[in-house]
Amino acid sequence: MSKWTAKDVLRADQFTKEEIATILELAGEYERALSDGRTLDVMKGLVLSTLFFEPSTRTRLSFETAMLRLGGGVVSVSEAKSTSASKGESLHDTIRTVEGYADVIVLRHPQIGAADEAARATDKPVLNAGDGAGQHPTQSLLDLYTITKETGRIDTLTVALAGDLKNGRTVHSLALLLANYEVQFVFIAPPALRMPDAICNELDQRGVRIQQTDDLATGIEQADVLYMTRIQRERFDDPSAYDRLKDSYVLTRDLVESAKDGIVVMHPLPRVNEIATDVDDYGKAAYFRQAANGVPVRMALLALVSGRA
C-alpha cells in the first residue's frame, strides 16, 4: 500500500479512484479475515480516541469495534457536555491535548468544518465521523463497499436515491462519490425536497445521466440499487403537505416486488417507518449488512491512516 498518502479522512470527495479501490480492497481482506475467525494485531499497541461532541451510537460503536478487531485500544468520549469544551476550551486545544494521548482521533462534531479544523491542529490522523450538515465520508465509503458487495460491480449500475434529497448529507456525498464511476441516477423526491441544483449541475458536467421523478414506484422500475432516506415532518412549512405525501415514500414489500428484479435496498439507518418491516426478509434488503460493513471499511481506514496497512 505504498501509494497511500492521506493523513486524514475528512471528505468523501478527497480520494482518487485508486485510493478508493485500495480502501475497498483492504476492507474486503479484513472482512474475510474476520469471517475466517482470524485475530488481527495490525493496530496492536495503538490507541484510538473517539471524540463525539454529539451522540451517534452507531458510528461510535462501529469505529470502536473496528479498532478492537485490529488489536488496538480505545478511549472514548461519548458526550460533549463531559468535555473541556464546556469549560470554554477551543476545539484546537482539545485536539492538541488528545493528540498527546492517542495515535488516531475520530471526531463527531455538530459544526461544519470541525474535522478540518481538528486535522489542521495535529499531525496525528483525524477521521471525520460527521461534522454537522457537512461530510460523513466513512458512511459514503461503506455505502460504496456495500454496493460493490451486493451487486458485484459499480460501473453500469442505475442507482435510485429516494426521500429527502435536499437535506440529506448522506445522499449528496454518495452521489458525488458514485460520479467517479459509470453509473446513472434516478432521483426520487417530492418537489420540495429535490436534489440541490449545485449537485445536479456538477453531475451533469461530469457526464452523469440523471432522471428525476416524485413517484417511488416509477423511480425503482429500472434501478439496480435503491437508497432510501427518511422524510422528516419538520422539513415542511406546511404539515398537511407532509401528511399528503408521507405514505407514498414508504417502501413496502409490494413495491419491492414490482421493482426491477434483484434490486438492492439500502438505507443509512436508523429507519423509522420509511421501509416496511416485511421488506427485511427480502434477500436483497441490504441495510443491516450495510451497517455491518462499517466495521471492515473503518478498519481499512484506521490501518491506512496509521501506516499499518
**Nearest distance from C-beta of residue 43 to its own copies, angstroms:** 11
Q: Which stretch binds its own copies (CB under 8 A): 12-20, 64-72, 173-181, 201-209?
A: 64-72
**Nearest distance from C-beta of residue 179 to its own copies, angstroms:** 28
The C-alpha cell that represents 103 in the structure block: 495515535
Examine residue 213 and tell whether it contacts its own copies (CB under 8 A): no
Spatial CA neighbour of 48 closest among 260, 299, 309, 240: 299
Cα dihedral across residues 265, 271, 274, 275: positive or negative: positive
Query: Is 87 known to be catalytic?
Result: yes
**Nearest distance from C-beta of residue 107 to its own copies, angstroms:** 14
Marked catalytic residue, from 11, 60, 69, 108: 108
What is the Cα–Cα distance from 9 to 129, expressed in whole angstroms? 9
The helix or strand, by DSSP H or E, that contains position 9, with its residue range, turns out to be: none
Marked catalytic residue, from 3, 38, 81, 87: 87
Examine residue 64 and tell whether it contacts its own copies (CB under 8 A): yes
Exactly one of 16, 21, 25, 101 binds its own copies (CB under 8 A); that residue is 101
Marked catalytic residue, from 7, 58, 235, 253: 58
Binders of its own copies among residues 26 to 45 (CB under 8 A) are 37-39, 44-45
Examine residue 47 and tell whether it contacts its own copies (CB under 8 A): yes
Exactly one of 11, 69, 124, 169 binds its own copies (CB under 8 A); that residue is 69
User: Do 10 and 137 touch, CB atoms closer than 8 A?
Assistant: yes
Residue 299, amino acid: M
Exactly one of 25, 79, 215, 243 binds its own copies (CB under 8 A); that residue is 79
Residue 48, amino acid: L
| Chain position carrying cell 436515491 | 161
Query: Is 59 known to be catalytic?
Result: yes
Spatial CA neighbour of 134 closest among 104, 106, 168, 163: 168
Residue 252, judged by CB atoms within 10 A of its CB (0-12, 13-18, 19+), counts as: middle
Query: Is 58 known to be catalytic?
Result: yes
Return the number of the residue (72 or 219) whose C-beta is nearest its own copies: 72
Spatial CA neighbour of 168 closest among 140, 142, 210: 140
C-alpha triplet 156, 169, 255: angle, nearest 5°: 55
The residues assigned a catalytic role are: 58-59, 87, 108, 136
Binding site for its own copies (CB under 8 A): 37-39, 44-45, 47, 49, 55, 57-58, 61-62, 64-65, 68-69, 73-79, 81-84, 87-89, 92-94, 96-102, 269-272, 277, 280, 288-289, 291-295
